[in-house]
């Protein structure tokens, strides 16, 4: 039966309940089926256990990948999880959302035209899930240091930093402006990648070590200032992520129906009933990263009929991998390359389409190659802007509004470290943010130890 495309506010083209709730839930099933014990051991036996393994070198958190795979093959998945979590405390999330096809699995020596790489991501998930199901304990707090550290942001970088600091015996207070911990793991990843409330289970697992207090609803610059927490704590780690989505800067952008992809992904993540979300029938997504793929695929899964991603360059230049692009296409998303938005077409204050100009140099600039896509909803997915520090910016070296840090994630402001999306030259990946938090915690511990000993 055709759906009457009218939302509660009477906007043409927008409707909730495009699919029954049971169909939505079925569509948002596991992206990749988890491994069973026997299949995990069979897959583990495919590993060559390379010396100086390229997969370990490709992992931003430097997990001993052959080591944990060998443990799985030896019927010890919990021990394998211990190896993983020692380097990456968010091994569960990274096993689900990390772009392994461009990192560890890409460098696997079995990744050949007549073979396939070892399924490292699925093996990592199998081990970590098994350990969490058994409530396995791998960490204990060190001798208490009587030092406290403020962490701004309870996302991957902040939680990783807090956990390592707690292991090292320090007390941590995390200031998080959202009602839940997890950052993009909770609010920004595609819902089909993180099912069964996993982001919150992982956050609880991380904080169960003790010594970590989280104050939700506390936004830097609104509820407190940097100088306030500097006065109350011995060191500060900034991992506040990014702010609002960047604007397109084109005519018509202000009309109704032009939305931020990150905001709608958050709505999907937090929705009790997926079928209750008001959704357009014809959707255009502008961007080329994982956010663009995630919003496009999810709107298709919710029942949108026509979903098109338009990217200004070619497939090889997209931040989303070729595998992710193919994943979207298989689910009915159209991807058009070499197009840049020129203006938003609208009528009565509501978007009706987007006009694009060609960016391929082979096309003429006299109008050839221009095209228009009809739309009732346009999602911006072109990256997020850094959050402004205002009065708290003194003493920081900034690049494009992001913190410039050294190899230990120290900023130019004494006693302040930073990591995650808010630092310059960051990878914008959960796994990289975890590494930032881990390295910063080690550096902060050294700083606090010298401070306690009275060293300059």
Average pLDDT, integer, range 16-34: 91
Judge whether 177 and 218 are in contact, CB under 8 Å: yes
Backbone angles phi, psi at 78, to 5 degrees: -65, -40
Q: Which two tokens stand for residue 337?
A: 């390359």
Inter-residue contact 153 to 98 (CB < 8 Å): no
Residue 362: pLDDT band with limits 50, 70, 90: low
- Indicate if 253 and 376 belong to the same structural domain: yes
Question: Do 311 and 229 fall into the same domain?
Answer: no
Q: What is the mean pLDDT of residues 426-430?
A: 86
- pLDDT, position 13: 78
What integer pLDDT is reported at residue 4 of this predicted model? 35
d(CA 207, CA 216): 14
Residues in the chain, total: 456
The token duo for 303 is 């029942």
Closest Cα to residue 91, out of 68, 117, 118, 66?
68
Asked whether residue 22 is domain-assigned, the answer is no
C-alpha pair distances (Å), 449 with each of 102, 152, 229, 299, 442: 38, 22, 20, 50, 11
Q: For 357, phi and psi rounded to 5 degrees?
A: -110, 150
Higher pLDDT, 456 or 399: 399
Q: What is the pLDDT of residue 391?
A: 67
CATH number at residue 403: 3.50.50.60
- Alpha helices of 88-119 — where are they, by DSSP H? 91-97, 104-107
Lowest mean pLDDT among 9-23, 48-62, 154-168, 248-262: 9-23
pLDDT at 7: 41
Verify that 238 and 251 share a domain, yes or no.
Answer: no
| Distance of alpha carbon 389 from alpha carbon 387, whole angstroms | 6
CA 423 to chain centre: 15
H-type alpha helices, 234-360: 261-270, 290-301, 322-330
Q: Is 374 found in the same domain as 324?
A: yes
289, part of any domain: yes
Tell me, yes or no, whether 195 and 231 share the same domain: yes
Same domain for 257 and 352, yes or no, is yes
Residue 237 lies in a domain: yes
Q: Residue 142 falls within a domain, yes or no?
A: no
- Residue-wise pLDDT for 267-325, tens only, equals 999 999 999 999 999 999 999 999 999 999 999 999 999 999 999 999 999 999 999 99
- For residues 301 and 414, state if they share a domain: no
Residue 87 maps to which CATH number?
A: 1.10.1060.10
pLDDT given at position 363:
55
Three-point CA angle 81, 83, 84, nearest 5°: 65
Q: What is the pLDDT of residues 70-79, one digit of tens each?
A: 999 999 999 9
Number of structural domains found in the chain: 3
User: What contacts 435, CB < 8 A, 6 or more positions away?
Assistant: 60, 61, 62, 88, 160
Are 426 and 404 contained in the same domain? yes
Residue 50: count of CB within 10 angstroms of its CB? 15
How many other CB atoms are there within 10 angstroms of residue 48's CB atom?
12
Instruction: Tell me which of 22 and 30 has the higher pLDDT.
Output: 22
Q: Which domain holds residue 257?
A: 246-380
Q: Quick one: pLDDT at residue 361?
A: 67
14 belongs to a structural domain: no
pLDDT, tens digit, for every residue of 398-416? 998 899 999 999 999 999 9
Can you tell me the distance from the alpha carbon of 109 to that of 362, in angstroms, rounded to the nearest whole number? 38
pLDDT of res. 394: 84
Going by C-alpha positions, the residue among 171, 175, 124 that lies closest to residue 148 is 171
Nearest to 7 by CA among 216, 343, 256, 272: 256
pLDDT value at position 368?
Answer: 62
* Mean local confidence (pLDDT), 345-374: 84
According to DSSP, residue 423 is labeled: B
Q: What is the DSSP string of 34-88?
A: PPPHHHHHHHHTT----TT-HHHHH-TT---HHHHHHHHHTT-HHHHHHHHHHH-
pLDDT tens per residue across span 86-125: 999 999 999 999 999 999 999 999 999 999 999 999 999 9
If asked whether residues 299 and 256 sit together in one domain, one would say: yes
Distance between CA atoms of residues 394 and 229, nearest Å? 15
Q: What is the mean pLDDT of residues 28-42?
A: 92
Per-residue pLDDT of 126-155, as tens digits, reads 999 999 999 999 999 989 999 999 999 999
Cβ atoms within 10 A of the Cβ of 135, count? 8
| pLDDT of 364 over the 80 cut | no
Query: What's the confidence (pLDDT) of residue 49?
Result: 97
pLDDT in tens, 228-279: 999 999 999 999 988 778 899 999 999 999 999 999 999 999 999 999 999 9
Q: What is the DSSP letter of 378?
A: E
Number of Cβ within a 10 Å radius of residue 452: 12
User: Quick check: is 2 in a domain?
Assistant: no
What mean pLDDT is reported for the chain?
92
Q: With a cut of 80, say whether residue 387 has pLDDT above it.
A: no
Is 167 contained in some domain? yes
Q: What is the rounded CA–CA span in Å between residue 257 and residue 270? A: 21
Question: Cα–Cα distance between 159 and 155 in angstroms, integer?
Answer: 6
Cα 206 to the center of its chain, rounded Å? 18
- Identify the pLDDT of residue 456: 57
Average pLDDT on 16-42 reads: 92
Give percent of the chain with pLDDT exceeding 90: 84
Query: Would you place residue 379 in the very low, low, confident or very high pLDDT band (cuts 50, 70, 90)?
Result: very high
Same domain, 314 and 214: no
Give the model's pLDDT for residue 133. 94
Residue 4 lies in a domain: no
Please state whether 342 falls in left (phi above 0), alpha (psi between -120 and 50) or beta: alpha
**pLDDT-based confidence at residue 1 (cuts at 50, 70, 90):** very low
């Amino acid at each position: 039966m055709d759906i009457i495309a009218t939302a509660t506010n009477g906007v043409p083209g927008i409707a909730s309940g495009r699919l029954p709730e049971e169909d939505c839930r079925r569509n948002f099933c596991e992206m990749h089926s988890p491994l069973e014990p026997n299949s995990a051991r069979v897959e583990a036996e495919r590993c060559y256990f390379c010396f100086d393994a390229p997969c370990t070198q490709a992992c931003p958190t430097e997990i001993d990948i052959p080591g944990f795979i060998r443990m799985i093959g030896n019927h010890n998945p919990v021990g394998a999880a211990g190896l993983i979590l020692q380097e990456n405390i968010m091994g569960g999330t990274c096993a689900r959302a990390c772009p392994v096809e461009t990192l560890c699995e890409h460098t696997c020596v079995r990744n050949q035209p007549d073979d396939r790489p070892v399924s490292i991501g699925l093996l990592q998930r199998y081990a970590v899930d098994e350990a969490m199901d058994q409530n396995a304990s791998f960490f204990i707090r060190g001798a208490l240091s009587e030092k406290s550290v403020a962490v701004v942001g309870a996302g991957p970088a902040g939680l990783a930093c807090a956990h390592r600091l707690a292991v090292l015996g320090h007390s941590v207070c995390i200031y998080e402006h959202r009602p839940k911990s997890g950052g993009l793991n909770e609010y920004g990843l595609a819902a089909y990648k993180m099912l069964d409330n996993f982001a919150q289970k992982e956050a609880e697992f991380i904080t169960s070590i003790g010594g970590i207090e989280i104050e939700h609803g506390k936004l830097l610059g609104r509820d407190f200032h940097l100088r306030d927490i500097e006065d109350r704590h011995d060191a500060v780690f900034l991992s506040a992520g990014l702010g609002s989505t960047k604007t397109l800067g084109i005519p018509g952008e202000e009309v109704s129906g032009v939305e931020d992809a990150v905001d709608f992904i958050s709505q999907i993540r937090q929705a009790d009933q997926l079928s209750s979300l008001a959704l357009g029938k014809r959707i255009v997504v502008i961007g080329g990263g994982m956010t663009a793929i995630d919003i496009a695929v999810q709107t298709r899964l919710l029942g949108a009929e026509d979903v098109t991603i338009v990217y200004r360059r070619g497939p090889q230049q997209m931040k989303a991998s070729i595998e992710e692009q193919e994943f979207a296409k298989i689910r009915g998303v159209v991807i058009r390359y070499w197009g840049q938005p020129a203006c938003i077409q609208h009528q009565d204050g509501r978007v009706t389409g987007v006009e694009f100009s060609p960016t391929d140099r082979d096309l003429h600039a006299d109008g050839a190659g221009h095209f228009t896509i009809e739309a009732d909803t346009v999602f911006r997915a072109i990256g997020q802007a850094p959050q402004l520090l205002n009065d708290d910016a003194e003493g920081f070296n900034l690049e494009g509004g992001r913190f410039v840090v050294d190899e230990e994630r120290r900023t130019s402001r004494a006693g302040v470290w930073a990591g995650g999306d808010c630092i310059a030259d960051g990878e914008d990946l959960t796994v990289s943010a975890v590494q930032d938090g881990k390295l910063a915690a080690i550096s902060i511990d050294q700083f606090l130890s010298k401070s306690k000993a009275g060293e300059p």
